[in-house]
Structures are given as C-alpha cells and as structure tokens.
Amino acid sequence: MEFKEIQTIIKNFEKSTLTELEIVKGDFRIHLSKRVDKETTQTTEKEETKEIEEMTAVKSPLVGTFYITDAEGNEFVSPGDYVNEGDTICIIEAMKIMNEITAPKSGVIKEIKLKNGDPVGFDQVLILIE
C-alpha cells in the first residue's frame, strides 16, 4: 500500500464517526483507533433519543420497497414540508401493490430516513414528523 493511500485512509478515519478501523492487505496491516469520551458520547445519544421521542416516527406496516415519489416522479413530501393528518407521505410497494402510507398526525417533516427505491422492513422508521 502506498503512502498516499495510507494518508487518505487516516484522514477519512479522523473525519468519520468510527472509533476503530483495521485493514489487512496481504502482509500489510494497519490498525487505527480513537479515544472516545464516554460522557460526551452518552450525552449526545441522550439528546438524540430525546429529540426522536419528541417526534412522531412513521413506521412501515409491511415489508416492501419505499417510494417517496409518485409514478410521475413528484415527491410526496420533503423535509420542512407541513403535512396534515391523513395526507399521503410515501408508498410501500409489496407484491406489486402500492400501499399509501399516511401521516398519523399533522406536523412538519423533520427527516426522511430512506431513499426512493430502498428496501424496507416491517416496523422500520420511514419518516420523522415534528
């Protein structure tokens, strides 16, 4: 492995949220690790959990394929959009049947957890509404 490749790996590792990385390529081996401040990590996790608890998570009622756009390619919703309870916010295709997923409450779309065409599992969070 060349020095420039190693430098790139190290820079990317420093920017990432990974705390440990090991690469083995033939006789070459590199092991990188970061010291993690447990208190900061726990505080961040608590803040994220609290933020998610204050939102409504729209979960998939079935296994299938997630679609955030309709047949013409228009998005049902985008982050920042206001939706009313009962509005169609996405579709889950299962066995060639298009199942409309509606907003369980009125609010603002905070985050769309999947990309158009992604596979989705039962009870997986699709969208967060604030």
In a domain, 17, yes or no: yes
**Confidence band (pLDDT; 50, 70, 90) for 81?**
very high
- Domain of 95, CATH number, reads 2.40.50.100
62, 12: one domain: no
In a domain, 44, yes or no: no
Percent of the chain having pLDDT more than 70? 86
Number of domains the chain is built from:
2
In a domain, 48, yes or no: no
64, 124: one domain: yes
**Confidence band (pLDDT; 50, 70, 90) for 79?**
very high
Domain, as residue range, for 22 = 3-33
64, 117: one domain: yes
> Does residue 19 surpass a pLDDT of 90?
no
Give which of 124, 110, 4 is closest to 48, Cα–Cα.
Answer: 110
118, 74: one domain: yes
pTM over 0.75: no
CA-to-CA dists, residue 43 to 15, 47, 68, angstroms: 20, 6, 33
Arithmetic mean of pLDDT over the chain: 85
**Confidence band (pLDDT; 50, 70, 90) for 85?**
very high
- What per-residue confidence (pLDDT) applies to 113? 92
Residues 11-29 have a mean pLDDT of 82
Looking at the chain, which runs of residues are DSSP E strands? 20-25, 28-33, 56-59, 64-67, 82-83, 88-94, 97-102, 107-112, 119-120, 125-129
Reading the block at residue 85, the tokens are 């309870």
113, 75: one domain: yes
28, 59: one domain: no
- What per-residue confidence (pLDDT) applies to 41? 59
In a domain, 113, yes or no: yes
In a domain, 80, yes or no: yes
